[in-house]
Structure 1
Amino acid sequence: MSAPSRLGLSRDPDFGRLFAATALGQLGDRIIFLALPLVAIVALNADEFQVGLLTAMTTGGSLLVGLPAGAWVDRMRKRSVMISTDLVRAFVLLTIPTAWWADLLTIWWLYAVALVHGVLTVFFDVAYVSYLPHVVGRGNLVEGNSKLSAIRSVTSISGPAAAGPLIGLVGAPATLLASSVGMAASGLLAISIRKREQKPEPSERPQLGREIKEGLTFVLKHSALRAIMLGDAIFNLFLVMYQTMLLVFLEREIGLQSFGIGLVLSGMGCGALLGALSATRVSKRVGQGPVIWLAPLVTCPLTVLMPLARPGWSVNVAAIGLAALSLGGVVRFVTQASFQQALTPDRLLGRMSATARFVSWGGIPLGGLLGGASGSVFGATVTLWIGAVGMTLSVLPNFLSPLRTMRELPKEKDPEPEHSNHEIVSSE
């Protein structure tokens, strides 16, 4: 194999800039994942339900603006949306340590920041997914998604590993300064990407409702896309229930400090990195369709090791189960994200992404609330059991769909899905 073919997208300067921006933004995001709940748990002494409500606020943007975000993003240059949302998110996060130092920080302040940050993240993610085909080309989507998943996995290791000691040294509120800096640096790097999109042609009379309906129709008329979204919705609901009580379980029942919690979450990042590095090989060997349901079926049951853990060596074994969950999740994500992008026409990429996010992530705020309520009534351990069982059952929609035996995913986009009720892909 020649050097250019081995390097692939690594030779593309614009992809390199996107790669670096992703690394910095994800590093900031991983620090948020650990620091924001610990601000509530440790600094504000929040109870289980308040922690669950904070999780719901963090992800509530998917319900509030999930569908219209896609239509709005399709009217704009995706790169501009990414830059502006990164910079505004950096400013919003900066208010938490500022309020803490001024002795003004309350749980309601955290709720407000989490909600605003979550809404902005919806716009960023929709633009990001829609921008990738423009930067790398449709023929390089699997490679592009794999490389970006790999760097996200690296930051999943380094973020919590760095955040744990930092929280122990300066406290969770001050640690969010690092998140703010990472978001700002990501936005500034995105400015340097030279490959500019053409501004979408404005419609003579733009109608938000009609544009949303067009995106919904495109997605819902493909049985494989429907199955992916339903499986994701079930998985995410129970994953968030699990994650909501995970930090409470580790801090209050296992007795881990911030450094130990950071190490457990870094182990999840190690699993995600292995998943990103092996996703292409696994999908070729097993088949791209079967991977989408088989990866979670193999790895999700291992999450029961955490509620079985007790203080001591068994926590290390449970952490391996969480690493396996991340490995399977990334293998599944890389395959299905490439499938969704390859199938969707350029003009519908934003709406496809937003529709998929709305359906798949719509239950996440509910998962946060259910996790908090279940933790308050039954305790963190029982809630982890419920989450583990639910995540395992999420494979059913994909297993019962055409993905069960579809070894090759489509390589051509379907420009007019409304005329095809039975075919996964129609020729142009």
Structure 2
Amino acid sequence: MPSASSDSSPSVPSSLWRDVDFRRLWLGQTASQLGEHASLVILPLLAVLTLDATAGQLGVLRAVGQAPTLVLALFAGAWVDRWRTRTTMVLTDAGRALALGAVALAGLSGRLGMPGLVALACAVGALSVFFDVAYQASVVRLVERDRLVRGNSALEGSRSAAQIGGPALGGALVSLLSAPIAAASSALFFALSFLSIRRIRRAEPVPERPEHQPRVRHRIVDGLRFVAGDTRLRAVGLASAAFQFSFAAVMTVYLLFLPRELHLSGVVVGLILAAAGPGALLGSLLAARLPGRFGHGPVLVCAAALGDGVFLWVPALNGSSALTVPALLVTGFVFGFGGQLVNVTIMAVRQAVTPDGMQGRAAATITFAGMGLAPLGSLFGGFLAGEWGLRTALLVAAAGMMLSPVVMAFSPLARLGRRLPAPHGEPRGG
């Protein structure tokens, strides 16, 4: 594996940006993430502000939207390892555009209700599982291993841009125009992603399939064994599970806390959520350099502790203070910075230790371990808010997020140095 210094060469980013197919993937990813981040604000705000959803109903809405990760992630990994990622991303973009278009049509016709909103959120969540797994595998198929940190940094920067524009756009459209128009805007972004990724022309090196292909369940088990058998990937899965469960609970309470406890409008809520975007953009830029200077392990632990711990003081805020909104903006920025620094570094480590034929299954297994608990976290957040009140519930959920940096600090991840680890041996069942 090349040293971090070689990966930081100025020629690397320029060579990546000269690659037309890489630019098309970047544009498609940016549009897709913009649509996704807008919809993550639009659908809950639509439920809270337009359909007058209770804490329990909001928890159910978020849980159903996240449940497909638990059900489909492992299958998606086995699928992606056998098919072209470009095809998977194009089909899922088209499906999400149609689903959010259905929300818009139902809203314009006056037939939008909680059952329909929950069903469509589930459809969008299911398609997003396949897109996300395919996207992570596509990076390795388009970018050389010694450029993974740079490639991930550029692509994760697109997610940062989406975090800046998506929540603000979604909150503004719901408040200033209408919920159907807000949903339609997300559908348009998925359509743009469809058009961009569809134009990728590079022949994708799909792993060869053996004459006697193992059954899907055997391929899934191989993925589980591979991740569980590598102490670094096992730690990633455990830390992700702790974070995603607690973060889902935090966001369920937070989306109620901002408009109902602090009496903030939809536009302000959108701007507060969007504050994570600039922080994430900075985090994605520094992720290309900080691990090579201080070591991947120290960066992971410190960034996770900073980003996750910043929510602990939010329950002390109140709506009457002139410092409340600026404090919330700073909170979002710090969370975005730490979270994105962790995301880019973790992804580079996971891709580096995983052979090509296992990329999809490794990504799906870790997604399953982490995001699979998000529906339960959303339900737990709704339960806490209903039983203990918004402030107490937010404090408890935020404290739970600190389990993630603790897990990393006591795992082999904390000892990772400046160089990316070497690839693991090829698994059985290719």
The normalised TM-score by structure 2 is 0.93
Q: Is the 8 A contact 2:149 2:288 kept in 1?
A: yes
> Which of the residues 35, 40, 43 maps onto 2:42?
35
Distance in 2 of aligned mates of 1:340 and 1:137:
15
Query: Which whole-Å deviations, capped at 9, do the CAs of 1:345-388 have from their partners, x for residues lacking one?
Result: 11111111111111111110000100111111112211210121
- The amino acid of 1:328's aligned partner reads G
**Alignment partner of 1:15 is 2:25:** no
Q: Equivalents in 1 of 2:290, 2:200: separation in Å?
A: 32
The answer on whether the counterparts of 1:212 and 1:351 sit within 8 Å (CA) in structure 2 is yes
Partner deviation per Cα, 1:141-190 (whole Å, 9 max, x = no partner): 10011111112111211122222322222222320101001001101110
Report the counterpart of residue 258 of structure 1 in structure 2: 266
Pick one of 287, 291, 305 that aligns with 2:295.
Answer: 287
The C-alpha deviation readout for 1:187-207, integer Å capped at 9, x for no partner, is: 111011111214543442431
Structure-to-structure mapping, 1:102-121, within 5 angstroms: 102-121=109-128
Q: Does 1:187 align with 2:197?
A: no
Q: In the TM superposition, what is the alpha-carbon distance from 1:310 to its structure 2 partner?
A: 0.8
Listed as ranges, the gaps of 5+ residues in structure 1 are 419-428
Structure 1 position 14, deviation (Å) = 1.0
The one-letter amino acid paired with 2:60 is: L
How far apart are residue 411 of structure 1 and its match?
A: 4.7
Query: What's the counterpart of residue 65 of structure 1?
Result: 72
1:46 partner SS: coil
Post-superposition shift, 1:5? 4.5
The farther-off stretch of 169-178 and 323-332 is 169-178
Alignment pair present for 1:156 and 2:166:
no
Corresponding position: 1:362 with 2:369: no
CA drift at 1:318 = 3.0
Report the CA distance between 1:6 and its aligned residue.
Answer: 5.5
Alignment of structure 1 residues 9-408 onto 2, 5 Å: 9-203=16-210, 204-311=212-319, 312=321, 313-408=323-418
Identity %: 36
Runs of 4+ off more than 3 Å: 1-6, 198-203, 408-412
**Aligned mates of 2:37, 2:216 — CA distance in 1:** 34
Q: Secondary structure at the match of 1:397?
A: helix
Match for 2:27: what amino acid? A
Q: Structure 2 CA distance, aligned partners of 1:45 and 1:252? A: 11
Q: Secondary structure at the match of 1:306?
A: helix
Query: By how many angstroms is 1:408 displaced?
Result: 3.4
Conserved? CA contact 2:222–2:427, under 8 Å: no
User: Aligned residues, how many?
Assistant: 418
CA contact (8 A) 1:303 1:318 kept: no
SS at match of 1:394: helix
> How far apart in 2 are the matches of 1:23 and 1:244?
25
Residues 165 and 274 of structure 2 are in contact (CA less than 8 Å); yes or no, is this contact kept in structure 1?
A: yes
Instruction: Give the corresponding residue for 1:424.
Output: none
Give the counterpart letter for 1:28 in structure 2: G
Q: Distance in 2 between matches of 1:27 and 1:62?
A: 20
Greater displacement, 401-410 / 65-74: 401-410
Residues in 2 aligned to 1:375 and 1:269: alpha-carbon distance in whole angstroms: 27
The 1:223–1:417 alpha-carbon spacing in structure 2 relative to 1, beyond 3 Å, is farther
Q: 1:3 to 1:198 in 2, by over 3 A?
A: closer
Q: Residue 288 of structure 2: SS of its match in structure 1? A: helix
Return the alpha-carbon distance in structure 1 between the equivalents of residues 10 and 372 of structure 2.
Answer: 44
1:426 is matched with none
Provide, for residues 215-243 of structure 1, a one-character-per-residue CA deviation record: whole Å limited to 9, x for no partner: 11111111111111101100111111011
Change in 2 beyond 3 A, CA 1:308/1:408: same
Task: Flag the 1:213–1:5 CA change in 2: closer, same or farther, 3 A.
Answer: closer
Q: Is the 8 A contact 2:274 2:332 kept in 1?
A: no
**Alpha-carbon distance, 1:281 to partner:** 2.2
Corresponding position of 2:3: none
When the two chains are superposed, the root-mean-square deviation of aligned CA atoms in Å is: 1.7
Letter in 2 for 1:326: G
2-structure distance, mates of 1:273, 1:67: 30
Q: CA deviation at 1:4?
A: 4.1
Q: 2 CA distance for matches of 1:234 and 1:352?
A: 18
SS at match of 1:280: coil
Provide the secondary structure at the position in 1 that maps to 2:275. helix
CA distance in 1, matches of 2:11, 2:407: 40
Q: 1:333: how far off?
A: 0.8
